[in-house]
Structure 1
């Protein structure tokens, strides 16, 4: 470290032309700079500078030495610039997982837009309705729905998400719509990958396990069953919005709708969050509502 300080003092004296200018740049005293250069000359066993009261001039050895030293400092500046760019531009491989339908319809187009802007980034997207272990399975970001479990992960809200109990007009021609949660026992219920339905009653979250005549782990299949009058289903807004608007499906039990079922971007807690994660999450937050509106929600 002492040698590096001496070299830096010598290079700055040559670059700026005087010991005092070099001292101001390095924020030390002029005598300290003079002492460092003298120590460097003693260390090398050669004189690097001719000193007069008016100017300094390089010796032949000094000319040779400063040429090589400049390469060191140019390399240092290049290294610092590379680190700065590394911290500002997304790079490397980004692994993202999301629930299938929401991810395919709304997240993937935004991630694709982001990669167009950052072609140096490699993106791996995995769509599954399984609860992925983010860190253990090596993912950078997970898009998760509903109420989050307590964890050490960081979560940013992307958008609201509402779940509706819906049935078709044909279904309600045969069976009167329910007005209370206890009346669900009188209905044919269609159950997806979650074994319960989520409600809010008297300000409290309620999970109700319903008796089902239909089971499936596919949102589109569940939607199709509800549209064909097989029974009631609980589905999020991005599935049912167009059918509620057209009147093909009818929402019931809306006073019991749970109001904290958002969509979240979840990622591990890091002291220095990488640009690829930070900037992609920022992009999703900024543009998700545009994508939802284009999808009719």
Structure 2
């Protein structure tokens, strides 16, 4: 049994670059992580990490040892998944994260239906617009919108979204309609998390910097402001479709609308999807 002592702590530190983050991931104290790793180093008579006040990184010996330990732990995971797949009903905990509004309106209704279908499944879902670190946070799954930047994650496209530039008829009546991207500088643009709006111009992607009197991280608040005629907004279709259909908003700059973007299920590259997570991903893809 001594051969296993410190292995989980060592791998957690290697993958999070932090004793504190490793402790959070394993639900133990930082001191316990440090003690177990130190005992492992003493047993191996090898320094596994370079430690400074700011950074923890693997030594050459630590890197080699990590690759072997990771293979062993992956094999254990595979063994557990093999047993789980033999059971009639998937069970256990799924930890996931999703954006707030999209998660509330679209993801969680599917998750709840999934849990009604599989009563032995537990779900912990953190709805946040911050892009959390899946490995450090111990997440099995993340739902991400739009362009993906992190190549260390595995991704499955669930569905697509379109971005629309819109304004209320009352705003257009008072301030006019922009027909070119350059005219946006003359209008009050309601800004979300990004101060640039993305378009397609002559077949090429183009980011246009916009300015306005309201900047807010809530898409629903921007939608409300646009409907009331405060300014022009760029939002995904799931925010504005109903308002467009009801005539509360008018689509602008349609010739410059960018192609559909993906809505994705992400999971860490060093994990295979367990049967229960794969079932949930498949249901999300089907329903969304």
Alpha-carbon distance in structure 2 between the residues aligned to 1:84 and 1:224: 47
**Distance in 2 of aligned mates of 1:192 and 1:268:** 28
TM-score with structure 2 setting the length = 0.68
User: Corresponding residue for 2:130?
Assistant: 130
- CA distance in 2 between partners of 1:145 and 1:168 (Å): 26
Equivalent residue of 2:122, what SS? strand
Number of the residue aligned with 1:143: 143
Map Cα deviations across residues 140-169 of structure 1 (whole Å, 9 max, x no partner). 111111111141211111111011111001
The answer for the alignment partner of 1:211 in structure 2 is 211
> Does the 8 Å CA contact 2:81/2:275 hold for their aligned counterparts?
no
> Which structure has the greater CA radius of gyration?
1
How many aligned residue pairs are there? 210
Structure 1, residues 8-44: CA drift from partner, whole Å, max 9, x if none?
xxxxxxxxxxxxxxxxxxxxxxxxxxxxxxxxxxxxx
Q: How does 1:1-297 map to 2 (within 5 A)?
A: 83=83, 85=85, 89-270=89-270, 272-288=272-288
Q: Deviations over 1:157-199 (max 9, x none)?
A: 1111011111001000011111111000110011012222111
Q: Is the 8 A contact 1:89 1:275 kept in 2?
A: no
For the Cα contact (< 8 Å) 1:97–1:139, is it kept in 2? Answer: yes
Task: From the superposition, tell whether residues 88 and 260 of structure 1 become closer, same or farther in structure 2 (CA, over 3 Å).
Answer: farther
Q: CA deviation at 1:267?
A: 1.2
On the 8 A contact 1:100/1:128 being kept in 2, the answer is yes
Structure 2 residues not aligned, in runs of 5+: 1-78
3-state SS in 2 of match to 1:279: helix
Alignment partners' CA distance in 1, 2:140 and 2:86: 17
CA distance, structure 1, for counterparts of residue 82 and residue 145 of structure 2? 38
| C-alpha distance 137-195 of structure 1, shift in aligned 2 (>3 A) | farther
The answer for the alignment partner of 1:14 in structure 2 is none
Structure 1 runs not aligned, ≥5 long: 1-78, 289-297
SS in 1 for 2:193: coil
Does the Cα contact within 8 Å between 1:147 and 1:260 map onto a contact in 2? no
- Look up the SS of the partner of 1:126 in the other structure: strand
Task: Give me the whole-angstrom Cα distance separating, in 2, the residues matched to 1:233 and 1:80.
Answer: 49
8 Å Cα contact 1:158/1:262 also seen in 2: yes
User: How far apart are the structure 2 equivalents of 1:256 and 1:104?
Assistant: 30
Q: Distance in 2 between matches of 1:286 and 1:126?
A: 22
Q: CA deviation at 1:278?
A: 1.0
Greater shift after overlay, 264-273 or 200-209? 264-273
SS in 2 for 1:139: coil
- RMSD after superposition: 2.1
Instruction: Encode CA deviations 1:50-82: one digit per residue, 9 max, x unaligned.
Output: xxxxxxxxxxxxxxxxxxxxxxxxxxxxx9998
